[in-house]
Structure formats: structure tokens, C-alpha cells
Amino acid sequence: MKQVIIITILVILIPYFIVSFFMKEKELDFGFDSNVIVRVKRVEKDIIEKIPLEDYITGVVAGEMPVTFHIEALKAQAVAARTYVLKKITYNNKEYDVVDTVANQVYLDNNYLVSAWQDEYVSKINKIRKAVSDTREQYMTYDEEIIDALYFSTSNGFTENSEEIFSMKLPYLRSVESLWDKDTSPVFNEKSEINANDFYKNLKLSYQDELKIEILNTTSTGRIIDLKINNKYFKASDVREKLKIRSTDFEITKDNNIIYIKTKGFGHGVGMSQYGANGMAELGYNYDDILRHYYQNILIKNF
């Protein structure tokens, strides 16, 4: 009787293991080699690595956009990231082209991703590689020049004109509506609080019971450019950095010894909103629709 049970179990399980073996998802390979090499400074290791372009873009998409995003949003990110680094390569005269941090683009290598994703590695890397492969060697230009393909996490409902945040007015980085962010981004609105002593300390201000905020200038969409806090002048970008808040679209109030901060959006606001891109993709827009919305009057070209 025992042998009959064992044989029955084997009859059931063996086909299962055979099917599982052949059905197991395999890791995708690009099937091609890029002729472009990116010199990436790995900040923590303090070394410079030479990485094939499409492998670099894979690591950037993994580092800059959630893999759970719609494939069309990931494709848009791949083209934006490729355009960004090609611009750097074209005009760079350093010993490296980019660093692997938010100072340029976050790049995560394959060893890191294998460790971080573990059992989900194959399915996740395949999704990203498909996005990269489907947009192979595509980049954006304006007036025959590679554009500055800036991007950020979450808008406040609009993107910004480049000159209102940075120094240069670029015709393709114009303020556009990005209404999808409100429904897609978990940080579209955020509230935080900080002890008043820490608040003043971080801003290098003397403690005062009364907190006086005077907004001096804002962008056309409501982000603060500069302001006074208790009569001391600040650039809003410096306040954002010192207080580690998500956006320069903020409101600061004080109640007793607690400072309350409300922010809208996440990031500098220029170029493509990543959560906006995902919202567009979820509604059926293709990656090229997304790119042409956030980067005005651009062309998408191939090498």
C-alpha cells in the first residue's frame, strides 16, 4: 500500500516539475551590442566604469523609476535617460561622463539588482530590458541638437518653465499641465512636522516664538523662488535642501514648538514628471505621446 501511495505521488508531481522547469521565465538578453560606451563614476567605490549604453540605460531606469510602472512609462524613462547621457557625452570634457547618483542619474548595476530583487529579479529585469530594447538607440532632439532631458518625480499639477528654476530658457522645457500626478503619486500632497528648535537650527536662525514667512517671488505655477523667514533672505531651493522637504511648493506654519510643513509635488518640476508619465500610460498614451507632451516640439530619432 505504501508503494502505491509513493507511485501515485510521483505520477502527480513529476509532470508538475517538468512543466515548471520548462515554463520558468528566462532572463532576456538584448541580442545586440551598443557601440556607445558610457564612462560612469561610481561614487561609493571611487572608480570609473565603462558601460555599454543600453546596459547603462537599464540600470538607470531601474534606479530612477519604479519597475511597477506601466511599460509605456518605462519606455519614456528609457528615452529620457538615454537622451540625458548622450547630451553629457557630447559636451563633457571630464574623465567621466556621469556619476551614478542623483547629481546626474541614479544607476544600479546588475549585481545590486540581483541582490535587491532576489526571486523577482528575472521578471523585473525583463520588464525593464523590454522597455529599453523597444526604444533601442532612440533619443530626443530639438533644432538638430540633443536636448537636456530633465525629469523629476511628481508635479504640483504643472511642470515648470526651465528659466524659472534654472538659469537657461529652453524652448522645449515649457510649463505644461500634468494633472495625472494627483491621482497617481503618493507624495502629490505631503504633510510633515519638525521641532521648532531643529527648524531654526537647520536654517541657521535664532530661535523666535513668532515665525514670519514672507514670500518674495514664485514661479508661474506657484513654486516659491525666494522668501524671507524672520527677515532673513533664502532661496527656496536652499530651504528645501536644508529641511529635506520634497518641493519648493511649500507652506510653513508654527504652533507652539512645532513647525508644520505642507508640500505639493516632489522634485524640481522641470521636464517630464515620472508619476505624470505613468498616469498618461495608464490611460493608454504611448511613450512617444508622453515624451512629446513633456518635451515640447521635440523629435525622437534613432542613431
The pTM of this model reads 0.88
Banded model confidence at residue 32, pLDDT cuts 50, 70, 90: low
**Exposed / middle / buried, residue 207 (Cβ in 10 Å: 0-12, 13-18, 19+):** exposed
- DSSP-assigned states of every residue in 62-129: HHHS-TTS-HHHHHHHHHHHHHHHHHHHHH--SS-SEESSTTS-----HHHHHHHHGGGHHHHHHHHH
* Alpha carbon distance 261, 243 (integer Å): 10
Given a cut of 80, is residue 291 above it in pLDDT?
yes
- Average pLDDT of span 190-207: 97
- Average pLDDT of span 33-57: 94
| Contact call for residues 128 and 116 (beta carbons, < 8 A) | no
Tell how strand 224-229 and strand 232-235 pair up.
Answer: antiparallel
- Average pLDDT of span 286-300: 98
* Alpha carbon distance 263, 252 (integer Å): 9
